[in-house]
Amino acid sequence: DQQVKQNSPSLSVQEGRISILNCDYTNSMFDYFLWYKKYPAEGPTFLISISSIKDKNEDGRFTVFLNKSAKHLSLHIVPSQPGDSAVYFCAATVYNNNDMRFGAGTRLTVKP
């Protein structure tokens, strides 16, 4: 039962360009969404989140967009840097539950 889906296993972009990572969810009860970044041999680290009452949240080079009607969210990284190369996980939860469900991840490679 995969409630959170990241259909692109990998993405490669040139340094300085925009990276767009996508995530879809099926459970309409989800109302809070998070992005995590994971480097090899480390645990995931929190990047940015968005509540369902918003459609956009921005933090520096990172912006998350939420389209509730499409059950879709995306993470934009502008400009992309080689240090952004990592696996990015989308996670979703119900606000009062705090039970996070993760997508399979997208491996981002930013080429110098």
Partner 1 sequence: EAEVAQSPRYKITEKSQAVAFWCDPISGHATLYWYRQILGQGPELLVQFQDESVVDDSQLPKDRFSAERLKGVDSTLKIQPAELGDSAMYLCASSFRTGGVTEAFFGQGTRLTVV
Q: 79 preceded by cis ω (within 30°)?
A: yes
**Structure tokens given for 8:** 């692109």
42 near partner 1, rule: CB under 8 A? yes
Burial of 36 (0-12, 13-18, 19+ CB in 10 A): buried
80 near partner 1, rule: CB under 8 A? no
Stretch that binds partner 1, among 12-20, 39-47, 56-64, 72-80 (CB under 8 A): 39-47
Q: What does the binding site for partner 1 look like in residue numbers (CB under 8 A)?
A: 4, 6, 9, 32, 34, 36, 41-46, 49, 89, 93, 95-96, 98-105
